[in-house]
Amino acid sequence: MLLHPLMLAWLGGAAVPLVLHLLSRSRFRAVHWGAMMFLTGRDAGPRHTARIRQWILLFLRMATVGLLAVALARPVISARHSLVPTAGLTTGSSAAVVIILDDSPSMGYTANGKSRLDAAREVTLQILSALKRGDQAALLLAGNHDFQPPTATTPDLQSIASRVSDLQPDINQPDFAAELTRAADLLEHAGPVDREIYIISDRQALPWRNVLTDSFQHRWQERKSAGPLPRVTVFPVGGDESDNLAVEGIDFTDRPVFSDVPNTLQIRVRNFGSAAVNDVPLSVWTGTEAITDTTISVPPRSVRSVTLPVLLSQPGSQVISAAVRSTGLTTDDRMDVSVDVLEQIEVLLVESPAASPTTRPTTRPIPALLSKGFDDDSPYNLTTAPLSAINPQLLKKTNVLILDNLARVTGPQAKVIQHFADAGGGVLIITGNATRAGECNGQLHGNGINLLPAMLKGIVSKPTHIATIERQHPVFHHLSGKPDPFTATPISHYFQVSPYASEGHILAKLASGDPLLVESNVGRGHVLLMTTSLDHDWSALPQSSAMPQLMQSMVRYLGANAAVDRNLWPGQTIVVSSDEPPDSNSATVQALPAVTRDPMTATHAGDRTELRYGNTSKPGTYRVRCKLAGEDLLLNYVVSAGHGSSDLTPLSDAQWKVLTDRVKFDRVDLAHTTVANTIDSQRGGREVWIDLLVSVRALLAIERLLARWWSD
């Protein structure tokens, strides 16, 4: 078999010596010669000898040119005739082949009108057509996790070809380590045949990250004990282009999102390439309504964020989309996010009676803090109730519960609050002069209750101020890029607390080192503990200009669960839950842009009913229509696989070297050979062009030697 059969055209060069010979003969010079007796002799022997010598030299010259042409064609001696076994070969009779085809998003990269997947598809078909009678094959799709891998190789190569023909880039990031393991496992049951694995992928380094680890290489080599390792051949397709711009994230910095209130939308755009991208158009819209059109410039290999104030006029489930305009890989140019836009969240304020009437201020600070900055359109609907009035029904309508100047809580009350937090409600506990540390610790922590993020120790009466705040936390997002406004705010009394190691997370500290704000997660909800009071004699926080925003931010953070997160991963089930039995007959799902609607399945769990839809393997927007409590609902779910494949950085030379040298993979550049020739050569064949070149050299030496010997 020849790797470069076209080079055989140079075989015609072998005729050159013959042509020269014949031309020389035809253009001879006549010489009238006297000393013929020394030239021909009386017998014909010497003349025949000379003629034989001429033909021998001619043959040597022709053979030299011919062998050179054959060497250029890079012939391969089939291993089936070789006595030396090579990797992947057992009998040399037939082969079991596993083709690992990368159909990840990066394979959608298009250059010159042809995607990398198109090239990979061609290579796969060439592999299939190069297989011999009796060979068996199996196909593994590395980027498709829903693809049911075959359990054995099959001689039905046509079915594999059909499967490949209509292949489109999938959504998942492949892991070649896992695919190789799967392929090797599959080949272990193939019997005593040649075992070959072909990986067809672009040059993206990401899928190889686990193959390049020492642990994989160790495990791969360990397979030798079970028999010869399969021969692994990598066919890289496409180029080394790695320039890619992707919308990496789109999110509201503060949740929940309110209607008719400015919300901050942050869009992150990443430049994976090595060249800066300047003034790329960036569009943001919801539904058919444009939010903004702007441009963005991103330095190489970095992320740039665009922060936009977004005013959404209509409450309800909406899809916010952001897209940049780029070339090459376009599947990651757009990102959608589903957001529930709320009109208001319900806040229940529970105030304990003052321990001493003289210590309570005449004005209640929390309502004022929450309404600050709003006229009558505050998104916080505040209701006040005594602690004794707390019951499940009341809390069912509540999103955030504020326990101001927390005093004694009974056990049942604690359980109700615990249940409220477990279900996603937010609780803000503010200590005060009515707070009794021992009772609170006992009632709000332990025995299945973990509402208290930190154990209260005792009141510290010592002037201090807020020293540090965790600016990354959503509670303090509104202070992003601004100086700390609380440094000059005096605090004279506070509770010394000790956060529970597994639950409490300190968000702000006092200059004394004691926590001021501690958070813990309870069930699906959050609890915030403020260790000082909003009373004037405890601190000057209520008078601080920054306190209204802090209070609103804390309440908004705690009420985030009022909005349901409708952003899903592929395959994640859409669940619409309700305490009231929905009309399951009217519940449908429409996978946009399709117009067909699939019914949802209704299931009952206790006193709750759930509508489910599980066919969400494809990314996109799924629109749910259902009727709850006689009200028609339209909910938008966004299924996104993320952009894990957006980094197109190719394998470096060092990484290729690891694959070829240490893992013993063959890398075949199809710019220099063909698939068929590669397969034939690798089936244990041995390239003999070096041997031929040595032979050419030897022939040249012999020809020169003989010519000199016979002519001197």
Partner 1 sequence: MSLPGRYLDAALVEQLNQMQLAARSVVEGSAVGLHRSQLKGASVEFRQHRAYVAGDEPRRLDWRVLARTNRPFVKEYDEETNLRCLILLDCSGSMAYGTDPLNQKMNYAARLVAALSYLMLCSTESVGLALIGSKLEQWLAPRSGSMQLSRVIETLDHARPFGAAALLPSTLQAAARLGRRALVIVVSDFFSPAVEIRDALARLRHDRHELICLRVLHRDELNFPFQNWSLFQGLEGERACLAEPAVVRKNYLARFDQHRRELTTLCRSMSADLHTITTDVPIADAIRKFLKARTRK
Choose between 47 and 80: whose C-beta lies nearer to partner 1.
47
Choose between 20 and 275: whose C-beta lies nearer to partner 1.
20
Footprint of partner 1 on residues 371-410 (CB under 8 A)? Answer: none
Strands (E), 504-606: 505-510, 515-522, 525-530, 567-568, 574-578, 588-591, 598-599, 601-605
Choose between 569 and 710: whose C-beta lies nearer to partner 1.
710
Binds partner 1 by CB under 8 A, chosen from 314, 391, 537, 710:
710
In the complex, minimum distance from the CB of residue 70 to partner 1, in angstroms, rounded to a whole number? 27
In the complex, minimum distance from the CB of residue 695 to partner 1, in angstroms, rounded to a whole number? 24
| 45 belongs to the binding site for partner 1 (CB under 8 A) | no
Choose between 29 and 218: whose C-beta lies nearer to partner 1.
29
In the complex, minimum distance from the CB of residue 659 to partner 1, in angstroms, rounded to a whole number? 55
Segment holding 455, helix H or strand E: strand 454-469
CB contact at 8 A, 443 and 410: yes
Choose between 34 and 606: whose C-beta lies nearer to partner 1.
34
Choose between 25 and 133: whose C-beta lies nearer to partner 1.
25
In the complex, minimum distance from the CB of residue 23 to partner 1, in angstroms, rounded to a whole number? 9
Of 47-55, 116-124, 522-530, 561-569, the segment contacting partner 1 by CB under 8 A is 47-55
Choose between 59 and 285: whose C-beta lies nearer to partner 1.
59
In the complex, minimum distance from the CB of residue 12 to partner 1, in angstroms, rounded to a whole number? 23
In the complex, minimum distance from the CB of residue 41 to partner 1, in angstroms, rounded to a whole number? 7
In the complex, minimum distance from the CB of residue 69 to partner 1, in angstroms, rounded to a whole number? 25
CB contact at 8 A, 88 and 229: yes
Residue 544 phi/psi, 5-degree rounding, is -70, 135
Binds partner 1 by CB under 8 A, chosen from 166, 279, 376, 712:
712
Of 41-49, 291-299, 303-311, 569-577, the segment contacting partner 1 by CB under 8 A is 41-49
In the complex, minimum distance from the CB of residue 29 to partner 1, in angstroms, rounded to a whole number? 5
- How is residue 11 written in tokens? 């075989």
| 133 belongs to the binding site for partner 1 (CB under 8 A) | no
Distance CA(494)–CA(535), nearest Å, equals: 11
CB contact at 8 A, 37 and 114: no
Footprint of partner 1 on residues 11-40 (CB under 8 A)? Answer: 24-25, 27-40
| CA-wise closest residue to 196 among 103, 121, 99 | 99
Footprint of partner 1 on residues 521-540 (CB under 8 A)? Answer: none
In the complex, minimum distance from the CB of residue 68 to partner 1, in angstroms, rounded to a whole number? 23
In the complex, minimum distance from the CB of residue 13 to partner 1, in angstroms, rounded to a whole number? 21
Choose between 218 and 708: whose C-beta lies nearer to partner 1.
708
Please state, in angstroms and as integers, the Cα–Cα distance from residue 44 to each residue in 36, 405, 706, 712, following that order: 12, 132, 21, 21
CB contact at 8 A, 660 and 212: no
Choose between 38 and 605: whose C-beta lies nearer to partner 1.
38
Q: For strands 588-591 and 620-628, give the pairing.
A: antiparallel
Binds partner 1 by CB under 8 A, chosen from 12, 16, 46, 422:
46
Choose between 51 and 396: whose C-beta lies nearer to partner 1.
51
Choose between 319 and 699: whose C-beta lies nearer to partner 1.
699
CB contact at 8 A, 376 and 340: no
In the complex, minimum distance from the CB of residue 19 to partner 1, in angstroms, rounded to a whole number? 14
Choose between 31 and 671: whose C-beta lies nearer to partner 1.
31
Residues 6+ apart with CB under 8 A from 129: 676
CB contact at 8 A, 111 and 238: yes
The three state secondary structure string of 642-668 is CCCCCCCCECCHHHHHHHHHHCCCEEC
Amino acid, single-letter form, for residue 624: V
Binds partner 1 by CB under 8 A, chosen from 9, 12, 48, 49:
49
Q: What's the CA angle centered on 577, arms 573 and 580, to 5 degrees? A: 150
Q: How far apart are the first and last CA of the chain?
A: 42
Choose between 45 and 446: whose C-beta lies nearer to partner 1.
45
In the complex, minimum distance from the CB of residue 703 to partner 1, in angstroms, rounded to a whole number? 12
Distance CA(57)–CA(330), nearest Å, equals: 64
Q: What long-range pairs does 357-364 form, CB within 8 A, spacing at least 24? A: 359/433, 359/535, 359/537, 360/535, 361/535, 361/536, 361/542
Binding letters toward partner 1, positions 54-73, x by CB under 8 A? x--x----------------
Distance CA(21)–CA(107), nearest Å, equals: 57
Of 369-377, 626-634, 693-701, 704-712, the segment contacting partner 1 by CB under 8 A is 704-712
Q: How many residues bind partner 1 (CB under 8 A)?
A: 30
In the complex, minimum distance from the CB of residue 27 to partner 1, in angstroms, rounded to a whole number? 7
In the complex, minimum distance from the CB of residue 32 to partner 1, in angstroms, rounded to a whole number? 5
Distance CA(570)–CA(615), nearest Å, equals: 9
CB contact at 8 A, 291 and 310: yes
Choose between 57 and 127: whose C-beta lies nearer to partner 1.
57
Neighbours of 536 (CB within 10 A): 17
Q: What's the CA angle centered on 598, arms 596 and 602, to 5 degrees? A: 160
CB contact at 8 A, 341 and 379: no
| 83 belongs to the binding site for partner 1 (CB under 8 A) | no
Collapsing DSSP states into helix, strand and coil, what is residue 322? strand
In the complex, minimum distance from the CB of residue 697 to partner 1, in angstroms, rounded to a whole number? 22
Binds partner 1 by CB under 8 A, chosen from 47, 224, 396, 672:
47
CB contact at 8 A, 3 and 76: yes
Footprint of partner 1 on residues 247-306 (CB under 8 A)? Answer: none
CB contact at 8 A, 561 and 399: yes
Choose between 23 and 595: whose C-beta lies nearer to partner 1.
23
- How is residue 626 written in tokens? 């259902």
- The residues pairing with 515 across neighbouring beta strands, listed in sequence order, are 509
| CA-wise closest residue to 144 among 186, 172, 165, 168 | 172
Residues binding partner 1 (CB under 8 A): 24-25, 27-42, 46-47, 49-50, 53-54, 57, 707, 709-712
